[in-house]
Structure 1
Amino acid sequence: MSQLIYPNLFCFVYDIKEGLGFNKEELRDAQANFAHRLPHLSYVFKNDHNFETEYHELLPTKIDKFTDQEDGYTGYYYPVRLNDTYGLLVACSPPENSQIYSANQVIANLKKKIDDKLADQPGTLGTTWVILAHLPENYHKDWSKVAQDCYQALMGNSDPQTPADWETDLVGQGKFLGGTLFELSQYHIRPNLKYRSHRKGSNFENYNSTSLAELQVSNHVLIELYPNYSAAKIASRFNFDWIRLFCYRHKILFAYTQSRFIKQELKEGYRTIKEFMGLFQKERQSNPNLRQLKRKLLQAQYSLYHYSIDLNQFADQIRTMEVNLLNYERRVKVIQEKARKETQEKAISDYDYLSLWGWDLRSLDWQSLPNSILDFVSPHDFSFLDEFRQDFSNKYMLQVEKDYEGLSPGLILLEELINSIYGITNLDQAQRDRTFQNTVAIVGVGLAAGSMVVSLNKLGEGKNDPVRSVLTHSLKIQPPWLEPAIPLVYSLSTAILAALFTWLVIRLKERSR
């Protein structure tokens, strides 16, 4: 049976405060979702503001303590805002003494108490659990077995679809302030789920905190086991550093999750673009109808609008991952430096008796000391935490960058398609305009020529005038109608000849271009 002394359980929960393009209703929903975890702290947002801030404590008192009257278990709430994210640390532990607890039982009890405080509601971005305890003095058994029992007690009653498995979930192991750390992770994307989309008639639904939390499984566990109380006490000071590091981790994974769903929309859009282009090429070979082309132009513009939005959202997820990977790396270095200083203080305290022989440890240049000496005092090596950044960069970041490269040409193809349709419709319209203008010119010249002929007073006066002769003898037109008919015939004949001549000139000009 694994045994623990003064075990502490910490739960780090992260929720979205504001996503890109959130409207007022979505912002209220995100805030209400976080406030639901703290129903007794109705004033949690009174200390908040709308400006971006890297780290902002939401309670004037920093933490809000609680005590379980039945068994004396104590804990606290620590809500913060980290830019566009809400973070909440909930801690719980039995009374601070040297009592030995069964790991299986005490961890399960602590988790139940925290779950009750949080209404068993997972974080929108993810959740990290940290177990911190020290082992009985001179404990020489396998520490990994203790960690396994702790993990099983913590995650044993979790989602049956994602059962805890030590061998599968173990990410790495390292040393920290003389203790041993075990990192475990469960992360995968749930397929066939709905997601936020701007498209009408889409299979995706609008934002709500529940649907976003169900997009992925993102459970992260850190188990810290120490040889004594003093080492565990020093390690507990790093909780306010972990809250930032874990936030970056969950934001990276959540951005990657969103990129997978956005990719599905882009792939569908890309498929539609290729089909659309194929249909357009077929119609282009025939005699395309101007009205149909204009309808297709509107459809293509609609597709371009949504495809460009999806592609921009995809690029936003890449930028989110890049920024948070950089922040993650920097925070790991800050924790390492802080651990080094804690080790220095511990060495000065533990070996203070050396000053009796003239060895003043405070005057040493600790920065120049090799890590091997510091590790002898208090071993620490949690480089495995940085492996997350390296693995994510080499695997997931490479994947999303290749996806973006592969999907970006869809935007170019769609723009070229729209330009082609524009060209055809504009050419056809220009041709129609020219035809109309030529018709107007031909008719105008004909009418002008006819008017000029009518204005000549001597038309048809002679008896031998051919028009008069035809109208009189052949068509038998009587004198009352004869006089007005003669100039009309001359006018029409002249107009037709002038129009034909004008048409011939226009045709010759067009051919000569």
Structure 2
Amino acid sequence: MDEQDLRFLTLDWFLYDLSEESSETIASKEFPPGNLLDSLDGYIRHEKIQDSQMVQIDCSGNKSEEVKSLQELADIQKTILKKTSLGKLGSSWLVWGQLMPENQSPVSLAQEICKQLKFEKTSPNWQVDLFAEGPLLGATLYELWSPPQGQGEGESYHLLICLFDSHWRKEALQKRVGYLLKHCQHLFLYRHKVVWAFQQSRRLRESLQQPSRLVPQVTNQSLARLEQSTVNLTELQDHLRQSLNVLAVYATQLNYLQEQRYTIEINLENYRQRVLKLAALSAEDSPNPLGEKAGEWQGQGSSLLFDKFSQFAQDKYLRQIERDYTSLSPGLLLVENSIKAVESLNQIEQTRSDRRLNTTLTIASVGVATSAVVATVIVATPPPNRHPIEFQFTTTLGSLVIGGVMSIAVWCCLTWRRK
């Protein structure tokens, strides 16, 4: 028996995707549910959790072996990774096993486990990636995490190592493993939703750079339009349309940014509630060490262990999004105010244009009506001693002259009234 042997050594891989209408994701199609090959001890399980789809792949290697060397872990992982579809939301790895009766060092075993595993584009680095450690359900748990950088591209992974104490019997161990898997599948989901929402916010922050650079241009052009003594109504309306387009894009992206903040807040709250449930369960199910209140140290330890991510997301993710929103939202107000000013100017110019058109129509109508009335009256009573052609010419000319005079009179009257 080697000091690097573990009883019931098992590797679980949890993949998460946003659920589609068909309830099938790329991962669920590539990994159909059911038991693994006859020679392997393990299974594939699907579960829909809220708006997400989870695929869990559990593998313990050869069925005939209860005690396994840590060196077998690499082969177990290769068996799982024959297909390398990663969940869109993210994926987490869980390694668990039971210490042998000999005095084994959990931390040394956990470090050796890290050496055996390899993830896409990266391998665990104990010194750099150890994120949290503590007691949980009668076991020692180590959490390693390499967060995604930038907009989510690059090397990242999430790994939990859970080493149960040697004194647990098989039935009690199975009970605790059941608790662990049940709660971790939810904790992992909420965690990945938080990280995914933050990566989405980085993409939105990048996409807001272009419209934010247009804000000074839009406001300066609006001020220039307001200061012009003469305004071209067509150009003004074109500028208004362009400003509205900038406003629509800017407001939509800012709204999406705010949605990512709400997504993080909701899932962090769900995460905290699940941590409290697991902490209470760990406290109830743990032995009484050194006369302390039964399980109290285990419950507090597991709560602090998982709360580290909650505090990290609160301090880094939420605050970053809040700072981004605070710095970008004034630009939206500037565009809105400039659009309101241009709209007011446009309405004034439109009113002036309509008034000029109405005046022209009024003057023309008066002139036409006057000339028509005069012509009608003259034609209705033609003098008997006039030549018809001469009379018609004189009548037409006279009606036009009188209509023109009346139009000028109306124009003078309207101009005087405006003064």
Are residues 1:222 and 2:160 paired?
Answer: yes
Instruction: Confirm or deny: 8 A CA contact 1:6 1:97 kept in the other structure.
Output: no
Shift of 1:244: 0.8
TM-score scaled to structure 1, two decimals?
0.71
Are residues 1:120 and 2:41 paired?
Answer: no
* Residues 122 and 106 (structure 1), Cα distance of their counterparts in 2 relative to 1, 3 Å cut: same
Please give the per-residue CA displacement for 1:189-239, whole angstroms capped at 9, x wherever unaligned: 355xxxxxxxxxxxxxxxxxxxxxx75655211111223162744431221
Are residues 1:4 and 2:10 paired?
Answer: no
Distance in 2 separating the partners of 1:301 and 1:371: 70
Distance in 2 separating the partners of 1:378 and 1:422: 65
Match of 2:48 in 1: 81
**Which deviates more, 304-313 or 143-152?**
304-313
Are residues 1:339 and 2:259 paired?
Answer: no
**Which deviates more, 419-428 or 391-400?**
419-428
Residue in structure 2 matching 1:130, options 94, 107, 116: 94
Please give the per-residue CA displacement for 1:280-324, whole angstroms capped at 9, x wherever unaligned: 433444444322333333333333333333223222211211111
Are residues 1:66 and 2:36 paired?
Answer: yes
Instruction: Confirm or deny: 8 A CA contact 1:218 1:250 kept in the other structure.
Output: no
* Residues 127 and 229 (structure 1), Cα distance of their counterparts in 2 relative to 1, 3 Å cut: farther
- Where in structure 1 are there 5+ consecutive unaligned residues? 19-26, 42-63, 192-213, 351-369, 462-477
Match of 1:31 in 2: 24
Partner SS, residue 172 of structure 1: strand
Distance in 1 separating the partners of 2:146 and 2:17: 18
Matches within 5 A, 1:208-357: 215=153, 217-228=155-166, 230=168, 232-238=173-179, 239-286=181-228, 287-343=230-286
Distance in 2 separating the partners of 1:2 and 1:254: 36
TM-score scaled to structure 2, two decimals?
0.85
* Residues 372 and 500 (structure 1), Cα distance of their counterparts in 2 relative to 1, 3 Å cut: same
Match of 1:169 in 2: 129
Match of 2:415 in 1: 507
Are residues 1:13 and 2:15 paired?
Answer: yes
Are residues 1:411 and 2:302 paired?
Answer: no
What is the one-letter code of the residue matched to 2:403? A
Match of 2:142 in 1: 182
Match of 2:404 in 1: 496
* Residues 371 and 336 (structure 1), Cα distance of their counterparts in 2 relative to 1, 3 Å cut: farther
Instruction: Confirm or deny: 8 A CA contact 2:283 2:298 kept in the other structure.
Output: no
Q: What is the Cα-based RMSD across aligned positions, in Å?
A: 3.3
Partner SS, residue 42 of structure 2: strand
Match of 1:366 in 2: none
Please give the per-residue CA displacement for 1:407-456, whole angstroms capped at 9, x wherever unaligned: 33343333334333333333222212211211122223334444555536
Distance in 1 separating the partners of 2:191 and 2:165: 28
Instruction: Confirm or deny: 8 A CA contact 1:131 1:223 kept in the other structure.
Output: yes
Partner SS, residue 147 of structure 2: strand
Please give the per-residue CA displacement for 1:7-38, whole angstroms capped at 9, x wherever unaligned: 111111111114xxxxxxxx45x824133232
What is the one-letter code of the residue matched to 2:52? T
Match of 2:114 in 1: 151
Instruction: Confirm or deny: 8 A CA contact 2:13 2:91 kept in the other structure.
Output: yes
